[in-house]
Amino acid sequence: MRWMKTHREIPIIFGYAVFLIYSFAMGFDPGKRMGEELLYFTLEMAKILPPAFILIGLFEVWVKKETIEKYLGSGAGLRGHIGAILLAGTTVGGIYIAFPVAHSLYKKGADIGVIFTYIAASAICRVPMTIFEASFLGIKFSLIRLGVSIPLVIFTSIILGRYLSARGYKIEEG
């Protein structure tokens, strides 16, 4: 039973698979719908993730640590946060891609506060999302939302980054 302590998710995944098989065999519509949505989501992620991870790998190899430290490191100040927002605005794939990129930035010497700005901005400042939002809710709404969100993201990221840095926080490699 030792494997149960390290692989707790296996019974849940197995139960879910049994539920989906039962749903399709017995015509249980909510279960069938769940299976169809799972398949759709899996196919969408299969389109986005491989190219994104290839780009992250290229970023790891091509971008020098000194460059990240200079523009996004602890000495970058507000410029680093703005750079993180610009980088996040062009990130495709949302949070699924933002966290691996953030980890890569951290390994290359980016300031922890700048990384928080990048993660938050990748959730709220992506260019395609903002264009889509503006087409439905109007440009004025989008500009107000960004005008309120971006300063708050920068402010909270700076505060959180300073708090964690003062306590010697480090992300463990595992």
Measured CA to CA, the distance from residue 127 to residue 130 in angstroms comes to 5
Could you tell me the two tokens for 93? 């794939």
Q: Read off the pLDDT band of 154 (50, 70, 90).
A: very high
Q: How far is CA 87 from CA 20, 114, 123, in A?
A: 40, 11, 12
108, 63 Cβ separation under 8 angstroms: yes
Condensed to tens digits (0 to 9), the pLDDT of residues 86-100 reads 999 888 777 888 999
Could you tell me the two tokens for 92? 């495709």
Q: Read off the pLDDT band of 2 (50, 70, 90).
A: low
Condensed to tens digits (0 to 9), the pLDDT of residues 23-33 reads 999 999 999 99
The one-letter amino acid at 143? L
109, 171 Cβ separation under 8 angstroms: no
Length of the chain: 174
Percent of the chain having pLDDT more than 90? 60
Condensed to tens digits (0 to 9), the pLDDT of residues 37-87 reads 999 999 988 888 888 889 888 988 999 999 999 999 988 889 999 999 999
